[in-house]
Structure 1
Amino acid sequence: MAMTLDIAAPEYRRDLGDGLVARWSTADDTEKIAQTAGQVFRGKDSDPFNERTANAVRVYMSGRVPVMGPGDYAIVEDHTKEGNPVVAGICLMRMEWYYEDILFKMGRPEIVFSDPGYRNRGLIRTLFEFVHARSAAEGRLLDAITGIYYFYRQFGYEYALDLDSSKGVYLTASPKAKEGDAELYTLRPATQADLPQMKEIYQQRDRSLHTVTTHIGDSYMKFMLEDWSDHPARPQFGTTMMIVDKQGQAQGWLSLPITRGGKSLNVWSMYTRPHLNLQAMLQSLLHALQTYGQQMPTQKPDTEAFSEIKFYLGQQHPVYTALGNLAAITDPGYAWYIRIADLPRFIRHIAPALEKRLLNSPVEGFTGELKLDFYRGGIRMAFREGRLETVEDWRSTVLNNCSDGGFPPLVFFQALLGYRSLDELRRNYPDAWVNNEVLFTTLFPVRPSWAIWL
C-alpha cells in the first residue's frame, strides 16, 4: 500500500532510462502538454495541429473545470532534448457515479497521448500505474475511460457500460409550428440565478430507470454557468439552456453544443420536473431546437447542412417514449471501458442495491453462496436470509470444482453493471455459464445506464 501512495504523491518521480522521466504535472507544464497533445491528436500527418485538443488541455490544467487541476497529468518528459519536452501523458479526472441510489467515486483517465517517436517503450503502461495509484489512494472504486478501439484492454479495462446512445428526429419529419400559436415552452440561456432551480430539478430525476448514472455536483453546475465566453476553448464545453413555460417558470434544463461539427444538433443531457406532459413539451422544444440549430456557427466551412436533432440520453429514456415514431434515428453509440481493481470492495459498497433486488423476487431471503470462476481468479459471495454477509476473492480448484458460474476475465463487469444479459453473454462467450439462473439474473439484471462524461 505504501508504494501505491508513493506513486500517487505529487512529488513522485521515476527515472525510466535514456533521459526519460515520469512524474506528475504542475501548472508550468501546461503548454508543453497542450503542444504534444495537439500534435498527436490528428488523423493524418498532413492534418493541421489540433487546436481543440490543445485548448481542452489548457482549460483542464487551469483548474477551472472541477474534475481536475494542474497537478493531475501523469507525464513523461525527455531530458535529452532542449526544454525537456513532454512526450506522453494521461490525465486523471474525478467524477462520481450512482449505482442505482448508491453514490461512489470513480476515476476517469483521459486525453491519453504519446509522441509517435516514443511508442512501444511501455510509457503509457507506466503512466497508467500513476493514474491507477492516485485513483486508488483517493478511494475511487472504479475507473472508466472513453477511448479508441481495443487499446485500453491492455491495462485491465473491459467494455461494460453504454456510452452516447441516442435517438433523433429528422427535421423534415419534425412538426411545424402553427402560425400565431404561442409555444407552451421556450428555451433561454441559463444564468447563475438559475442554479437553485437547476439543482432542484436535477434532484427530482428518477434514478430507478438506470443502473449507473452520473452525479452532477454543485461545483460542476456552477462551472456550467460561468461566463467565460471570451476563452478560445469555450465552445468545446457547451452551454446550458433553461426550459421555461408560458408563465416564465423553469420546468427543466438541457445541455447543448455551441458550435456544430456535423449535420445534427446534439442534446447532451436533459432534466425536467416530474408530472409534466413530456410529449407536449417536446413539440415546443423541437421548434426551439430547430431555431437554435439553424443559428449555430459551424466548426468548419464544409460542415454538412443541419438536418437532424439527436438526444443523447442513453438506450432508454422517457423522451424517446414521448417522441414515439418521430424518433426515427437510432444510434447505439459506443461503450465505456471499465476497470474495477478491487471487485469485492466494489460489490460490498453496492450490496444494498443487490439485497433490494432480492426482495419480492423468486429468491427472496436467499441463504447460500454464489461462487464465480473467472479462470484466473474469482469471487465468492455469501448471503444469509437475503443479506450479503461476505464478499471475497476466491479461486476454484481443478478437482472438486464447486463453482456456481464462470466468466472469462473482466466479462463479469458487463453483468454487474447491467450492460449485457446472461443470455447475451452466453451467446458471445461459450465459457460464460451459471448454475442458478434465477438467482444470477435477479442480482444482475440487464438494465440501461446513462453515464455521461463531464
Structure 2
Amino acid sequence: MGSLHFPTEQRKTIDIGDGLILRWSTKDDTENVGKLLGECFRWLPVGDPHPTDRIPGPNQFVIAAARRLLSGKSAVMSEHDYALVEDTKRSNGKNPIVACVSLHRVRAFYGSVDLSFGKPELIATDPEYRNKGLIRKLLFELVHPESDARGDVLQLIPGIAHFYRQFGYEYGLLVRPNAKIESTSVVPTLAKGKSEPYILRVANKDDLPFLNRLSTPANMHLNATVGTHYSPEYWRYTIHDVFEIKQNRFDGDRDTRIIIDAASKKPVGFTVLSNGFFGAQLEAMALDEQEVSYVQTWHSVLRQLFDITKERQALIIKEREAALASDKEPSDEGIKEAEPESTASPSGPIVSIVAATSGNTSVPTEKDEKKEAPFQLAYSLHKRHPLSLLLGQSLKRKPSYEQGFRVYTRILSYSAFIKKVAPELEKRLANSALAGVNGRLQLDFYRKVEGSSGKGLEVIFKDGKIEDAKDWAKPSPEKLFEERLAWEKEGEAPLIFSAGFMPLTFTPLVTGLRSLTELNEAYGDVLIRDESTRLLLNILFPKGDHHIDVFYW
C-alpha cells in the first residue's frame, strides 16, 4: 500500500467569505486546535472526573490527543491532515481556528482483501460559529475529496447519534468490547515457591519484526469479515513513538507486553492492554502457536495482566485524589505515576483515563476514595478466540439485545468498492451453489442521495468472476421492453438478479453488519425479486463479525 499519509492534488485553500477560509493544518496550528477541542469537549466523560460544583475546564485528555495527532509522529495522520476553518478577521485574542475535522487513515481488510479506511475524527465547531454549515463544508470540500482521492474506499465516524446521516453516513460497522472479567479468581493463584513459566515484559523497538510477523488477522484469531490491521505504523507508534512525544499522563494509551518463555528466553507471543475511551481493556493476545499453546500459557499470562490492571486502578485512585485536591486546571504537577508492585510490570507504561474506567464523571468523595476499587477488565477478544473459549462462562457478556457501539460508515461509490473487494466476493461465489454464474445483479436505490454516487448499482458476472461494476439507474418500462427485445433477437438474454434497497441501507449489508433477512424485515422498501436473487446476495454479503480497533491515537 506504500505510505499511508501523503497529500494529493485535492489539497487546496478555499475562501468561503466573511473572512473564513478552509485549509489544511501545519504543526503551528497545534495549540489553537487543542484549545478549540478542549473547550468543545469539556463535557466528554474522559480525562479527570468532572467537578460537581462548577462547569468543568477544558478537556485535557482531548487537548493531549490533538497535540499527538499534529506531532508528525501519529500512526493515523500527518501534521497536515487536520481540515480547519480559520476566521482571519477574528481579533481580541480569540482563537482563529473555529472548526476542525481530522482525517485519519488506517490499514484494513475485507475478507482476504487489504484496503484502507478513512476516518474523520475529533470534529468540533466553536459555539459562536455553529449552525453555519462549517462541518459540512469541511467534509465535502476537503475531507471527503482527499480521502476518496487517496484511495480510501470507505470512511467511518464514531460520532454524535443521528448527526452524520445528513452527510451520507449510515451505521455499518461495530466496535466495542462485549465482555468483561470481574474477578481474578478465573485463574488459579501461583503455587507457593513457584515462578511464572511465562514472563510479560514491555515491548520495545527491537520487537517490531516479531510483532509485525505475529499480528495477522488469522494468527490473532480476529474471526472478522471486516476489520482493521495491526499495521507497522500502529506498532511503531504505540510501543515507541508515542512515548517519545509523551508530555503528561494522558499520553500513551497502549501497553504492549511480549510473552517470554522463561525456560528458553524466547518470545512466544504478545498482549495489548489499553486504557483509553473504554477503561482498562484487553485488546489483543496472540501466540506463536508453533512454539506454545494457549492452554499452556493462559493462566500465567492472565495472572500478570491482572496485576498490571490492578496497578492501573491504583494509579487511577491516586490521580483522582490529586484532581480532587487541586482547584486549578488539571496538570501533572505533583502527580507521580504509581510504582510497579509486581515483576509483571517492569518500568512499563502505566497510564489511565479516570472517568472512562468507572463510568462516573463526578469527583468522588473522601469516603468513596477509601473504598478499594472493584476489579474489572474489559475484554474485546472475539468469542471464538482460544482465550475466550478457555475462559468460558467466566466472561461476563452483554445481553444479546445490546448492540454495542456502532460507527457511521460512508461508501461513496458502491461500484468502486465492489471492484476493490472483487477477489473476496469471487472467492465466496466459487465456494457456493452459484459457482461459475453468469448474469447481472441490478440494485435499485430509488434515488440518488448525499453520500452515494448513483441511484443504483449493476454488477456483471461472467463465469463466476466480476467483469464489471458500475452506477446504474433503473430504466423506464419502455426501455426495459426494448432491452428484452434486443436480447431475444440476439438469443442471449442474460440472467437478471434484481432487488431494491432504500438509500444507503445497502451499506450494512455490504459490511456484514446486517443480514439480508434483517434488512428485508426492517424496511418495507428492501425488495428482493426472487429466490435466486436472495441466494446470490446471501452468498456475496453474509452477516459477519467486525474487528474495528481505531482508538489508539
Normalising by structure 2, we get a TM-score of: 0.75
3-state DSSP of counterpart to 2:251: helix
Q: Tell me the distance in 2 between the aligned counterparts of 1:320 and 1:178.
A: 21
Q: Which moved more, 1:322-331 or 1:343-352?
A: 322-331
Residue 124 to residue 411, structure 1, CA distance change in 2 (3 Å): same
Q: Which residue of 1 aligns with 2:23?
A: 23
Which of 398, 401, 408 is the equivalent residue of 1:337? 408
**What's the counterpart of residue 289 of structure 2?**
274
Which residue does 1:114 correspond to in 2?
Answer: 125
- Give the SS at the match of 1:404: strand
Q: Provide the TM-score with structure 1 as the length reference.
A: 0.91
- 2:79 pairs, out of 66, 70, 79, with 70
SS in 1 for 2:286: strand
Runs in 1 of length 4+ with deviation above 6 angstroms? 400-403
- Other-structure match for 1:136: 148
Aligned partner letter, 2:79? P
Aligned mate of 1:361, from 428, 432, 435: 432
Cα displacement (A) at 1:272: 2.4
Query: 1:315: Cα distance to partner?
Result: 6.3
**Offset, 1:359:** 1.6
Q: Which residue matches 1:300?
A: 320
Alignment of 1:186-225 (within 5 A): 186-203=199-216, 205=219, 209-225=223-239
Task: Work out the CA distance in 2 between the residues paired with 1:69 and 1:211.
Answer: 29
Query: 32-41 or 357-366: which moved more?
Result: 357-366
Task: Tell whether the 8 Å contact from 1:20 to 1:79 is kept in structure 2 after alignment.
Answer: yes
Matched, 1:100 2:111: yes
Deviation at 1:49, TM superposition (A): 1.0
Q: Is the contact between residue 222 and residue 381 of structure 2 (CA under 8 Å) also seen in structure 1?
A: no
Q: In 2 relative to 1, CA 253–425 (structure 1 residues): closer, same or farther, beyond 3 Å? A: same
What SS is found at the alignment partner of 1:46?
Answer: coil
Cα shift at 1:403? 6.8
For 1:425, give the aligned amino acid. L
Q: Which whole-Å CA distance do the structure 1 matches of 2:89 and 2:60 have between them?
A: 27
Q: What is the SS of the residue equivalent to 1:366?
A: coil
Change in 2 beyond 3 A, CA 1:155/1:229: closer
Q: Which aligned pairs between 1:26-45 and structure 2 lie closer than 5 A?
A: 26-43=26-43
Partners of 2:443 and 2:379 in 1: CA distance: 38
Residues 193 and 234 of structure 1: CA distance in aligned 2, closer, same or farther (over 3 Å): farther
In the TM superposition, what are the counterparts of 1:38-187 in structure 2 within 5 Å? Answer: 38-43=38-43, 46-82=55-91, 85-129=96-140, 130-171=142-183, 173-180=185-192, 181-187=194-200
Other structure's SS at 1:209 match: coil
The answer for the alignment partner of 1:245 in structure 2 is 261
Residue-by-residue CA offset, 1:360-417 (whole Å, 9 max, x unaligned):
3111111111111111111011111111111111111463777711111111111111
The structure that has the greater radius of gyration is 2
Work out whether residues 164 and 332 of structure 1, in 8 Å CA contact, stay in contact via their aligned partners in 2: no
Q: Which moved more, 1:271-280 or 1:121-130?
A: 271-280
SS at match of 2:320: coil
1:350 equivalent in structure 2? 421
Q: Is the aligned partner of 1:442 residue 2:539?
A: yes
Is 1:392 the counterpart of 2:412? The answer is no
The answer (yes or no) to whether the contact 2:199–2:259 under 8 Å persists in 1 is yes
After superposing the two structures, state which structure 1 stretch, 307-316 or 380-389, moved more: 307-316
Deviation at 1:173, TM superposition (A): 4.9
**1:286 Cα deviation (Å)?**
2.3
Report how far residue 161 of structure 1 moved.
1.0
Mark the CA change 1:150 to 1:314 in structure 2 (over 3 Å): closer, same or farther. farther
Contact 1:72–1:93 (CA under 8 A) maintained in structure 2: yes
Amino acid of the residue matched to residue 472 of structure 2? W
**Cα drift, residue 451 of structure 1:** 2.0
| Contact 2:383 2:389 (8 Å CA) reproduced | no
Aligned residue for 2:456? 378
SS of the residue 2:61 aligns to: helix
What amino acid sits opposite 2:215 in the alignment? Y
The answer as to whether partners of 1:162 and 1:314 remain within 8 angstroms in 2 is: no
Deviations 1:9-45 (A, max 9, x none): 1xx2222223222211121111011001000012288
Alignment partners' CA distance in 1, 2:16 and 2:276:
43
Question: Does structure 1 conserve the Cα–Cα contact (< 8 Å) formed by 2:181 and 2:394?
Answer: yes
- Alpha-carbon distance in structure 2 between the residues aligned to 1:74 and 1:96: 21
Shift of 1:46: 1.1
Comparing 132-141 with 275-284, greater Cα deviation is found at 275-284
SS of residue paired to 1:183: coil
The separation in 2 between residues aligned to 1:224 and 1:291, in whole angstroms, is 21
Change (3 A) 1:366 1:265: same
Letter in 1 for 2:39: Q
TM-superposed deviation, 1:217: 2.6
Counterparts of 2:382 and 2:88 in 1: how far apart (Å)? 45
User: In the superposition, relative to structure 1, how do residues 77 and 7 fare at CA in structure 2: closer, same or farther (>3 Å)?
Assistant: farther
SS of equivalent to 1:290: helix
Distance 1:314 1:178, change over 3 A: closer
Consecutive unaligned residues of structure 2, counting only runs of 5 or more, are 1-6, 45-53, 322-353, 359-372, 448-454, 481-495
Is the Cα contact below 8 Å between 1:21 and 1:78 reproduced in 2? yes
CA drift of 1:48 comes to 1.6
SS in 1 for 2:58: coil
How far apart are the structure 2 equivalents of 1:316 and 1:147? 29
Structure 1 window deviating more from structure 2 (150-159 vs 37-46): it is 37-46
Could you tell which deviates more after superposition, 75-84 or 432-441? 75-84
Flag the structure with higher strand content: 1
Correspondences of 1:283-294 after superposition (within 5 Å): 283-294=299-310
Q: What is the alpha-carbon distance in structure 1 between the residues aligned to residue 90 and residue 70 of structure 2? A: 24
The alpha-carbon deviation at position 208 of structure 1 amounts to 8.1
Q: Give the direction of change, closer, same or farther, for the CA distance of 1:207–1:329 in structure 2 (3 Å limit).
A: closer
1:420 aligns with: 514
How many percent identity over aligned positions? 32
Over the residues paired in the alignment, what is the CA RMSD in angstroms?
2.5
Q: Could you tell which deviates more after superposition, 182-191 or 297-306?
A: 297-306
